[in-house]
Amino acid sequence: MFRRTDPQATFGSLNVLLTPEKIARLEKNHWAGSFRRKAFPVLLANEPIFRPLFCEDNGRPNKPVAATLGVLILKETFDLTDEAALDNFEFNASWQYALDVDPEENPMQVVTHVSMEGAHQSDQHASVPVIDDLEQKGCKPDTLLADTNYGRGRNIVDAAARGIDLVTPSWGPKPAADEACAKNAESGGVGALSPRFRRSDSLPGASERPPPA
């Protein structure tokens, strides 16, 4: 679902955490202050342009669009790799001030694969093509976490054949143990939810591999 960035400063934002003296320096003599005043408001104002890319009534809310665009702009401005740009976004106070983000709520992730298909098409088949593409790029993971929709048996077996654990929440209704634990937590008790994840090494036909150390 599409969600616009809330311009209201949080208690964790650098606008609140930094001393007035440091803010004055950023605003007067630093690129971060100029970017925050001039460029970032334009990015915020244009966030609705991206609304058609998101489902209106389903799915997880999007990452902050303005901050994401800002990271891409700064990445190109300073001629950085994706990894270096994300490091700056996570650890560099100048970037965080320029993009008006809470240092403790880093919303960025590295995008390693992109594919497009019609909204009327199921993407349950997408797991294996993604794995093959990542392997060609030299960044094939040992474990791939995915939503429930990708946890079909065929996908898990095919992933295991490529040396990857495809881990997804299980299909079907919530086990009674989960509901009991949830009620226990609501009443002040402590209890761990029962495991409801499917692993490739738990299905017939999956490759036998020792558990991770």
Structural domain that includes position 188: 124-202
Same domain, 36 and 94: yes
Q: Is residue 8 a part of any domain in this protein? A: no
Per residue in 89-135, pLDDT (tens digit) is 888 889 988 998 877 765 555 556 667 767 777 777 888 888 888 88
Are residues 83 and 35 part of one domain?
yes
3-state secondary structure of 30: coil
Q: Which of 81, 98, 115 is the C-terminal boundary of a domain?
A: 98
Same domain, 94 and 149: no
- Closest CA relative to residue 14, chosen from 102, 104, 106, 107: 102
Segment 16-73, tens digit of pLDDT: 777 888 888 888 889 999 999 999 999 999 999 988 887 777 777 777 889 999 999 9
Query: What is the Cα–Cα distance from 13 to 30, expressed in whole angstroms?
Result: 18
Q: Decide if 187 is inside a domain.
A: yes
pTM score of the predicted model? 0.50
Classify 212 in phi/psi space as left (phi over 0), alpha (psi -120 to 50) or beta: beta
Residue pair 196/175 in contact (Cβ under 8 Å)? The answer is: yes
Cα four-point dihedral sign 96, 98, 101, 106? negative
Same domain, 90 and 141: no
Pick left, alpha or beta for residue 100 (phi over 0 → left; psi -120 to 50 → alpha; otherwise beta). left
Residue 175 DSSP SS3: coil
pLDDT category at 136 given cuts 50, 70, 90 is: confident
Within a domain: 106: no
In the chain, the amino acid numbered 12 is G
Residues 6+ positions from 169 with CB-CB distance below 8 Å = 147, 148, 151, 196, 197, 198
The three-state (H, E, C) secondary structure of 88-128, written as one string = HHHHCHHHHHHCCCCCCCCCCCCCCCCCCCCCCCCCHHHHH
In a domain, 117, yes or no: no
Same domain assignment for residues 88 and 18: yes
Give the chain's domain count.
2
